Amino acid sequence: MTCSFFFRIVLIFQHRRLLLALSESPPAPQNIHVDNWLLTWTPASEGDTTYTVQYSRFNNRKWTNVSSCVHISSNSCNVTSTKAEAEHGCVRLRVRAERRGLPSPPVEACSRHGDTCTPDLSLMPGPGSLTVYLTMNHSLAQEYGRHAKYRVYYGKEGEPLLKYEDAEASVTISELQEGQRYCVQVQYRYFKSSIGLPTCTQCELIPESKKDSNQTVILVVGPIMVPVLLIPLIAYFLICKSERIKQWLRPPYELPEDFLESFPEHHLPISSSSPTEECWDVISSISPQE
Ligand SMILES: *[C@@H]1O[C@H](CO)[C@@H](O)[C@H](O)[C@H]1NC(C)=O
Ligand SMILES: *[C@@H]1O[C@H](CO)[C@@H](O)[C@H](O)[C@H]1NC(C)=O
Ligand SMILES: *[C@@H]1O[C@H](CO)[C@@H](O)[C@H](O)[C@H]1NC(C)=O
């Protein structure tokens, strides 16, 4: 009884696993970018995957299929035809994979080069901050004035770029974690719509601030350097200048005139310095008084 029950459970699990494998969506396409109106992406490892490319016009939330790239098995699409579809040729593009009738989530394409519809940016990291240099004099600004802005998406490398700042020109993102890599993606905005392709993700390492590294040097090197410098100095004084120290410490005292006469001849106080202790000021000749 228990044995057949156990086997039934195993069979149900195997069946579910098979169904899940069959009903699994294909992985979303990756590294989708445009170069000179040719859209390319990383192909899936499984052969029976097809791709469909869609575009969206500026100020239009609807996505339309690029007619020459519906259910294609290659990993590129000539999107020159979309240029005529939109003002300034500013379209957004996305690709979705499909396998056995099941689609992947769509992924938007990015552009590696700035042009009329994609911002041109450069990044300058600073201690705890990242400055995104953007020009105020871009072609969309000339067309739409100050309503054309930049949306600067940012986040830690490997994480989705969820935070953003809207700017008319260059912007500095501050309070970033030092020693961490941050990534940035910029897209044009017009009122409440995104226009054109965003830039492909660019990442930079946020350096540690100089002040902190100096403090580290003092904190680490200080305790090492103090004994290194002090010990020889103290040793030098103790070994070589002990006579001087003794002289400095000696209270000023004048010998009485009859001091030496009060001793018998063989009890004269003579320096006990040994010749091996070279640093000492050796008294070379003492002539006992007759
Ligand atoms: C676009 O292509 C998809 C196939 O990926 C299809 O299901 C859909 O009906 C097409 N849309 C239009 C408007 O032709
Ligand atoms: C894309 O198609 C256009 C015509 O629609 C053609 O002039 C152009 O050379 C094609 N580009 C590539 C890379 O095949
Ligand atoms: C802005 O760009 C236009 C051409 O796109 C150029 O003629 C003009 O000199 C530029 N102005 C500035 C201030 O850079």
Reported as a single tens digit per residue, the pLDDT across 126-167 is 999 999 999 888 888 888 888 889 999 999 999 999 999 999
Ligand nearest to the CA of 169: 3
Range of the domain at 200: 121-205
Do residues 82 and 134 share a domain? no
* Residue 278: inside a domain: no
Do residues 104 and 178 share a domain? no
**Mean pLDDT, residues 199-218:** 77
* Residue 187: inside a domain: yes
Q: Is the distance from CB of 97 to CB of 103 less than 8 angstroms?
A: yes
Confidence check: pLDDT of 282 > 60: no
Do residues 161 and 107 share a domain? no
Distance CA 259, CA 251 (A): 17
* Atom in ligand 1 nearest the alpha carbon of residue 103: 5
Ligand nearest to the CA of 67: 1
Please, what is the average pLDDT of the chain? 79
Give residue for tokens 């499984």. 46
38 lines ligand 2 (CB under 6 A): yes
Within 157-246, strands assigned E span 163-167, 171-173, 181-190, 193-195, 202-205
Distance 163 CA to ligand 2 centre (A): 37
Beta bridge partners of 40: 33, 76
* Atom in ligand 1 nearest the alpha carbon of residue 98: 5
Confidence check: pLDDT of 65 > 90: yes
* Residue 126: inside a domain: yes
Distance 137 CA to ligand 3 centre (A): 6
Distance 66 CA to ligand 2 centre (A): 14
pLDDT category at 255 given cuts 50, 70, 90 is: low
Q: Is the distance from CB of 211 to CB of 126 less than 8 angstroms?
A: no
The proportion of the chain whose per-residue pLDDT surpasses 90, expressed as a percent, equals 43
* Residue 245: inside a domain: no
**Mean pLDDT, residues 33-40:** 91
* Residue 138: inside a domain: yes
Do residues 105 and 126 share a domain? no
* Atom in ligand 1 nearest the alpha carbon of residue 64: 13
Number of separate domains in the chain: 2
Distance 79 CA to ligand 2 centre (A): 8
Domain boundary at 157, 184, 205, which? 205
* Atom in ligand 1 nearest the alpha carbon of residue 65: 1
The highest-confidence range among 167-181, 209-223, 251-265, by mean pLDDT, is 167-181
Domain boundary at 74, 93, 111, which? 111
**Mean pLDDT, residues 42-55:** 89
Task: Return the pLDDT at 83.
Answer: 84
Give the CATH number, domain containing residue 75: 2.60.40.10
* Residue 235: inside a domain: no
* Atom in ligand 2 nearest the alpha carbon of residue 38: 13
Do residues 92 and 147 share a domain? no
Domain boundary at 153, 170, 205, which? 205
* Residue 153: inside a domain: yes
* Residue 74: inside a domain: yes
8: DSSP letter: H
Confidence check: pLDDT of 46 > 60: yes
Confidence check: pLDDT of 284 > 60: no
Could you tell me the CA-to-CA distances from 226 to 214, 216, 219, 223, 238 in Å, in that order?
A: 17, 16, 11, 6, 18
Going by CA atoms, what residue is nearest to atom 11 of ligand 1? 65
Distance 274 CA to ligand 2 centre (A): 101
Going by CA atoms, what residue is nearest to atom 9 of ligand 1? 65
Task: Return the pLDDT at 228.
Answer: 62
Do residues 37 and 101 share a domain? yes
Within 180-258, strands assigned E span 181-190, 193-195, 202-205
